[in-house]
Structure 1
Amino acid sequence: MQVSIETTSGLERRMTISVPAERIDAEVDTRLKKAGKQVKLDGFRPGKVPAKVVKQRFGAGVRQEVVGEIMSQSFYEAVTQEKVQPAGQPAIEPKQIEAGKDLEYVAVFEVYPSVELADFSSIEITKPVAEVNDADVAKMIEIFRKQQGTWNVVERAAAEGDQVNIDYVGTKGGEEFAGGSAEASDLELGSNRMIPGFEAGIEGLSAGDTKTLELSFPEDYHNEELKGAAVEFKVTVNTVSERVEAELNEEFFAKYGVADAGEEGFRAEVKANMTRELANAANNKVKTQVMDAVLAANEVDVPKALVAGEIETLRNQMFQQFGAGAQGLDKSILPDDMFTEQAERRVRLGLLLGEVIKSEKISPDADKVRAKVEEIASTYQEPEQVVEHYYGNQEQLQAVESAVLEDQVVETILAAATVTEEAQSYEDVIAQEQPAA
């Protein structure tokens, strides 16, 4: 087999491969002989069909099958011989496939880039340090009480935190616009569900009051026709309701999975969950900084094939989030541009972290994997069964191992980086940020 390879541009390679005709012919003959023992043709006894007849009837199809398989086999033999690592599937272009002549074809593909990691000692990380105090727990329980509370109609003016039932009609230039009207709509004042000024404009109104609000849509509003547009909303208040918070009792505690433990046990459970959430949030903030720093410190070319594959993965994930409502929809309604930036980031990170794993010889620590599984299981009522399930399900266990491996990579980078601790509040730490990858 003869192989020649050239760099066309960046990571793209063009490989010309020639396979001796004898290899093709030998495999075709072998398959035809085997077929001759099995085929049934009118006028011939089973297994007694002449080789010439078998070749006439099946030769072309068998040769086409063999050529396809040998092109696939020889491609991977060639990249092994040339010590190149393809990123994605090659585009194959046959050049010579005529019987009796050497097979020749061209494979165009991308290769994985060569990655040289920068010195991680230049990376600076701020590690948030916080704890869950009694005030944090009390605030969280207050949120739970509101979530489980009820709304009681009151005869007074509406204030922030109240729920109003309203009818409203939105107009732009005197004409109603799509989606700008509703009847008997419940709205919690202060929820920021509506455009700026809408909810504040209702405060002070009582049941039966009508008011016209002169407002403007934000400049970054998702509807192009309404971006920055001046509009009016005629609002009529039907009812005003105030929230009555749920009582702290056994029925309330049971709704959060805490039975027969009383208020003290409930508060302890809430604090334990918040502490776990705090630790995860702090780790994620550190991880995000590490990932951003690694990307900033290391330039690496990304194979287009890998980005395309990641885009498809992200698109499929979004369709899964849509649930049953997405069934039957054409996935092309979500264009590549929606995912390109995130896909490129994930591919770059994958290449860089992969190099860290390779250079530092990191593998998932079995004890840390077990600890992670037990941490996940601790949130269920039957943790032992959950642990057993994970260790009996290879796919789920591999997902945990991948997460642990990523954490170990972060630990390796942090060991070389400059890490400064910063005292923060519980709320500051759990404030949502961009994910690490």
Structure 2
Amino acid sequence: MQVSVESTSALERKMNISVPAERIESEVTKRLQQTAKRAKVSGFRPGKVPMSIIRQRYEADARQEVLGDVIQATFYEAVVAEKVNPVGQPAIEPKVFEKDKDLEYIATFEVFPEFEVQGLEGVEVERQSAEVAEADVDNMLDILRKQNTAFAEVDRAAALEDQVTINFVGSIDGEAFAGGTADNVPLVLGSGRMIPGFEEALVGCKAGETKVINPTFPEDYQNLDLAGKTAEFTVIVNKVEAPELPELNEEFFAMFGNTEGGLDGFRAEVKKNMERELKQAVQGKVKSQVMDGLLAANEIEVPSALISNEVDRLRVQAVQQFGGNVKPEQLPAELFAEQAKRRVALGLIVAQMVKQFEIKADDERVRSTIEEMAAAYQEPEQVIDWYYKNEQQLEDVRAVVLEEQVVDTVLGKAKVTDVTVTYEEAVKPAAAPEVAEEAEEASAE
């Protein structure tokens, strides 16, 4: 077998492969001999059909099968011999596929980039630290109570934070529009569920009252047919209900699985969960900065095949997250291209970090990570056992730990500034990527 490799770009390779005709004919003969053992031909007993007839009937199909198998086998042999690392499957271009002639074909493919991770000393990270104060716990208890608000019917005008049950009919320029009509809709005034001006206009209304309101759809409204237009809604208020916050009592604590320790025990459990959330938020922000720094310091060529695969994954995730009546392949690829390129590049850089710095997942850290996740469940020991009996899940945790160790390796060389912030500032999430917003709009259309 003869092989030559041509670099057509930084990552693309063209491999010319020539396979001796003798190898092809030998494989075809073997395939026909196997066929002859089981072929059923009228007038002959199984296994007694003359080879001339076998060739006449089956050689074309056998040759096609052999060519496919030989191409697959010789491509693998060639990349091993030439020490290249292909990404995905090659594009095969036949040159000579004729009987009794050497098989010749061109395999075009991308290779993984070869590079050394550098610039760790130039990575800048602001590492936040915070504590969960008692005032933060008080605030969280208020949030939990509001999340479990009950509503009781009242005989008065509606106020902000009241819940009204309404029927409404909407129109624009006298014409009804899709989604503009509904009955018995519960709506908390001030929740922001409806377009600006809708909820505010219902403050002061009483049960049984009908009111005509004229809110305007935002300019960036996802339905472009309605964006920026002023609508007329005829609203009937069926019921007004006032919020009633639950008491901090045993019944309330039991809703969260806390049946012992009273208020002090519940506060302690809430604080523990907040501290867990705080730790994850701080680690997440540090990791994000580290990854940004690695990308900035290591601009690498990224195989287009990997980007394409990642785009497909992001499409599926978008449909799963935002729903909508679209299939993943209907979402524009360019919507996800930059995010996919970033994720692939980071994956390659992290993999190279693991190799370059000989990083291995620390078993004790894997154990503590599993224990920390299991602590959120009522039977933590069962959760821990489940992870250690499920190799795939255990491997996923190892991957997480390995990535954390990569971050630690960078932090050991980077410029790290420690700052103290409040709990609220520390857990405040980063701004959502624009691609997520665009994907949500595309799914909703």
Distance 2:409 2:27 in 1: 51
Is 1:362 the counterpart of 2:359? The answer is: yes
Distance 1:63 1:175 in 2: 68
Equivalent position SS for 1:206? coil
Shift of 1:252: 2.0
Distance 1:197 1:128 in 2: 39
Shift of 1:134: 1.4
Shift of 1:367: 1.4
Equivalent position SS for 1:14? strand
The residue aligned with 1:228 is 228
Distance 1:331 1:84 in 2: 33
Equivalent position SS for 2:6? strand
Q: Report which stretch shifted further, 212-221 or 39-48.
A: 39-48
Shift of 1:92: 0.9
Shift of 1:210: 4.2
Distance 1:42 1:55 in 2: 16
The residue aligned with 2:201 is 201
Q: Deviations over 1:370-415 (max 9, x none)?
A: 1111222222222222122112212211211111111111111111
Q: Counterparts in 2 of 1:100-249, with a 5 A limit? A: 100-249=100-249
Confirm or deny: 8 A CA contact 1:288 1:434 kept in the other structure: no
Q: Deviations over 1:22-81 (max 9, x none)?
A: 111222223333443444444444444443333333322222211111101111221222
Confirm or deny: 8 A CA contact 2:123 2:293 kept in the other structure: yes
Equivalent position SS for 1:215? coil
Equivalent position SS for 2:265? helix
The residue aligned with 2:343 is 346
The residue aligned with 2:17 is 17
TM-score, normalising length: structure 1: 0.91
Is 1:31 the counterpart of 2:31? The answer is: yes
Distance 1:36 1:238 in 2: 83
Q: Deviations over 1:224-244 (max 9, x none)?
A: 122222334343433221111
Confirm or deny: 8 A CA contact 2:155 2:240 kept in the other structure: yes
Confirm or deny: 8 A CA contact 2:155 2:206 kept in the other structure: yes
Confirm or deny: 8 A CA contact 1:171 1:180 kept in the other structure: yes
The residue aligned with 2:429 is 432
The residue aligned with 2:300 is 300
Q: Report which stretch shifted further, 42-51 or 414-423.
A: 42-51
Confirm or deny: 8 A CA contact 1:11 1:110 kept in the other structure: yes
Q: Relative to 1, partners in 2 of residues 1:166 and 1:37: Cα closer, same or farther, differing over 3 Å?
A: closer
Shift of 1:104: 0.6
Out of 390, 397, 401, the residue aligned to residue 404 of structure 1 is 401
Q: Report which stretch shifted further, 156-165 or 118-127.
A: 156-165
The one-letter code of the counterpart of 1:395 is Q
Unmatched 5+ residue regions in structure 2? Answer: 437-445
Shift of 1:351: 1.5
Distance 2:116 2:357 in 1: 13
The residue aligned with 1:79 is 79
Q: Report which stretch shifted further, 237-246 or 195-204.
A: 195-204
Shift of 1:176: 3.2
Shift of 1:280: 0.6
Unmatched 5+ residue regions in structure 1? Answer: none
Distance 1:195 1:292 in 2: 37
Number of equivalent positions: 434
The residue aligned with 2:385 is 388
Is 1:374 the counterpart of 2:382? The answer is: no
Equivalent position SS for 1:224? coil
Distance 1:415 1:284 in 2: 17
Distance 2:62 2:214 in 1: 77
Shift of 1:434: 5.3
Distance 1:322 1:227 in 2: 20
Distance 1:46 1:231 in 2: 81
TM-score, normalising length: structure 2: 0.90
Distance 2:237 2:91 in 1: 65
Is 1:336 the counterpart of 2:333? The answer is: yes
Distance 2:15 2:136 in 1: 63
Distance 1:351 1:232 in 2: 55
Shift of 1:113: 2.1
Confirm or deny: 8 A CA contact 1:151 1:163 kept in the other structure: yes
| Percent identity (aligned) | 52
Question: CA RMSD of the aligned region, Å?
Answer: 2.4
Distance 2:79 2:174 in 1: 69
